[in-house]
Chains A and B, each alone.
Chain A
Amino acid sequence: MCSLTLSEAFDNQLTHLGGAEAPFIERNMAERAHGAGRNQAGVLDSPDTRLRRGFAEDLRDVGVRKERIGRHRVYFTGTHEDCNYTAFFVKSFKRGDDDAVDDNNPNFHAVLQNALDTNMARRIADPNEAEQEEAKPAWQKTEWFKKYGNQS
């Protein structure tokens, strides 16, 4: 069972966060650390905790990683081989924050929508087609069939 070290800055952040969120983040980080052993990788060692290429390369190079706890993001160091992880920063989710990576933040939402937007024209549905549409089997109602199915 590995341990979790909380830096002063991280602990202060949790104190300021208060409410149900602080114990939630602390408990879940601790459980993740305790689930690992010196000879057994844990959740905090999984590849999805690595910082992405292009993001703060200096921190990435020194082994800083990021774990998602619900909608919060905890930055930490350490591996199961050290059998200790150090949590040093939390980017907490707060509804209405300009920097929240959530749908409620129009800035982030715009970034995501732009990335996903295929610039395909929206189809305008004919109201007379509604009854025929309803009678179709489920697989013919899929967006895929509507887009590609009638072209063979």
Chain B
Amino acid sequence: MSKTALKPDIAALQFAKLVPDSQAASGLAFAERASIDVLQRTSILRSLEEISQLTGGYVRLTPELSYIPALFGNDDKPVFLYHLVEGIDEFLDFNALLAEYPTLNYSQVVGAIKFLRKVSQMNARRIDIDDEEGKFDFDDDAFLRELRTAYENRGNVARVLTDPV
């Protein structure tokens, strides 16, 4: 076996240190599953890293941020790629895009953007970024109060939209 072919396994073993001790202690079966999972993640993140290099290195995957794709501004602070995808979603002209691809529908394009957003959130530690967002909101008492009040008053209807806008 060539030296190169061994590299993913070495990377995977080292990477496995990121598996929490509490879970690693639960037996070999878990370790095997974790090992396969780590290998798959390693492979995907390695591909993303190569794509980054091929496309000029603007999108960077750094160990300090668990290899989540990000751009770095002139203040050297990261702007996460998934935030940029959200911005693209906001400024995209859906009608113009659908005119170019008449066999697709609105839901498919939205689904594609959602897919790109989630791919942009991939990271080595398998942190669910949307969970982190939820935790951030969870601590905001004023926001939760407002949300609950709005839910309770949802029966007060302003408008019903039945036709395409």
- In chain A, positions 3-62 with a C-beta closer than 8 Å to chain B are 3-12, 24, 26-28, 30-36, 42-43, 46, 48, 51-52, 54-56, 58-59, 62
What residues on A are CB-neighbors of B154 within 8 Å? Answer: 7, 9, 77, 86, 88
> B106, B128, B150 — which one has the most chain A CB atoms within 10 A of its CB?
B150
Are B10's CB and A152's CB within 8 A?
Answer: yes
Instruction: Please tell me if the beta carbons of A43 and B83 are within 8 angstroms of each other in the complex.
Output: no
- Chain B CB within 8 A of A124 CB: no
**Contact in complex: A148, B65 (CB < 8 Å):** no
B66 touches A88 (CB 8 A): no
Cβ-closest chain A residue relative to B70: A103
Which of A12, A28, A52, A107 contacts B130, CB < 8 Å?
A52
B91 partner residues in chain A, CB cutoff 8 A: 70
**Cβ distance A108 to chain B, nearest Cβ, rounded Å:** 6
Chain B interface category by residue count: 35 or more
- A-chain residues with CB within 8 Å of residue B125 when the two chains form the complex: 116, 118
| Interface of chain B residues 102 through 151 with chain A (CB within 8 A) | 105-107, 110-111, 114, 117-118, 123-125, 127-138, 140, 143-144, 146-151
Chain B residues lying within 8 Å of A152, measured Cβ to Cβ, are 3, 6-7, 10
Answer whether residue B96 sits at the interface, using C-beta atoms and an 8 A cutoff.
no
Shortest beta-carbon distance from B95 to chain A in Å: 10
Q: Does A94 contact B (CB under 8 A)?
A: no
**With A8-B153, A11-B158 in contact, do A113 and B134 touch (Cβ < 8 Å)?**
no
Interface size class on chain A is 35 or more
Contact B50 A120 (CB under 8 A): no
With A and B bound together, what is the CA distance between A99 and B62 in angstroms? 26
Q: A75-B150, A99-B140 are in contact. Are A115 and B10 (CB under 8 A)?
A: no
- Contact between A142 and B49 (Cβ–Cβ < 8 Å)? yes
Measured CB to CB, the nearest residue on chain A to B162 is A3
Name the CB-closest residue of B to A11.
B158
- Closest residue to B123 on the A side, CB-wise? A116
Q: Is the CB of B153 within 8 A of A147?
A: no
Q: List 20 A-B contacts (CB under 8 A).
A: A7-B157, A9-B150, A10-B158, A32-B107, A34-B163, A46-B111, A54-B134, A56-B148, A88-B153, A89-B151, A102-B83, A108-B136, A111-B135, A112-B80, A118-B18, A138-B54, A142-B46, A145-B7, A151-B10, A151-B14
